[in-house]
Amino acid sequence: MENSSLPNMLPNLTRGNNMFHGAITALITPFSNNQLDEAALRRIVRWQIDSGINGLVPVGTTGESPTLSEAEHKRVIEITVEETNKAVPIIAGAGSNNPIEAVDYSRHAAEAGADAALHVAGYYNRPNQRGLYAHYEYIHNNTELPIIVYNIPPRAVVGVDVATMAELAKLERIVGVKDATGDLTRPIRERALIKKPFSFLSGDDVSCVAYNVGGGNGCISVTSNIAPKQVVEIHRLCREGNFVAAAALQDKLFALHSALFIEPNPAGPKYAMSLLGFCSDEVRLPMMPLLDSTKETIRNTMKALELI
């Protein structure tokens, strides 16, 4: 069977909120002497846009949000909005296990000009499903931006169940999910229950093609910090239903995906970005500089892909 017939056979795979789709970069936050490097951040954002990226996420986990001050957090969003200048949608990291703080970050993101807010489930508090629903409902009812639910049980300990996600989707401005559960049945099961346009975004570069086969719209990507054009191409192929070619390109990038996560994120991506000349490889405690062996693996992988 020819690939060209796939889009007609799989009409549901492209449904969703088209505003948030494709390759969306979870931006690193560059530092210089432990201070926010504003000039480097501007260079990175401009390069991402020039590379054809479909969206940007400032101050997510990859942006070291847990160790940014409130002022730094807000400044990163402001700079990203300024440099993007409406070229692509911005989903601002605004999550907190304290819903009052999450509301404050969302309101600032709206004032700064972001297009949506990414909100993680209630880490450390470990709420049950009723508590998770109430957390998101409170944020929804006290803010104005569209909300992307960040479902990442490995970091948050708790996860948003399929049934809870479907209930959350009934709230007007909950418009999508960043799914880092590792469960590739999730988009299939959630699409069966969610009856409105909804963005199903993978949170895992390694499995993003399979996630898209199940009905996903794209990926909030770490690897696109380093190889934006290639990650954009993967998701363009997926939108066209050419999953065979998308999987082949994903296979080509597999070694890079793996190398970037040998040690805790974002130490790997930051070192890779330093090799590209965009910023230093500085991370904040408790993140640590990479071992020399990890640096060598990342460097060799990037050379093999002709990224450096």
Closest CA to 153 of 188, 169, 177, 189: 177
Closest CA to 252 of 181, 211, 307: 307
- Which of the residues 74, 105, 133, 178 is marked catalytic? 178
DSSP H or E segment with residue 26: strand 22-26
Burial class (CB in 10 A: 0-12, 13-18, 19+), 247: middle
Rounded to 10 deg, the angle between the 162-169 and 186-193 helix axes is 40
Which amino acid is present at 149? V
Residues near 218 by Cβ (< 8 Å), separated by ≥ 6? 20, 21, 22, 23, 24, 54, 199, 201, 202, 208, 212, 235, 238
Cα–Cα distance for residue pair 35/75, rounded to 1 Å: 12
The sign of the CA dihedral 198, 199, 203, 209 is positive
CB atoms within 10 A of CB 210: 17
Q: Starting at the edge strand that comes first in sequence, how are the strands of the sheet with 55-57 ordered?
A: 55-57, 22-26, 218-221, 199-202, 174-179, 147-151, 116-120, 91-93
- Which of the residues 150, 270, 271, 295 is marked catalytic? 150
Alpha helices, DSSP H, located in 65-207? 70-84, 99-112, 129-141, 153-156, 162-169, 186-193
Asked if 150 is an active-site residue, the reply is: yes
Contact 245, 10 (CB under 8 A): no
Give the distance between the most distant pair of CA atoms in the chain: 56
Catalytic positions, written as ranges: 150, 178
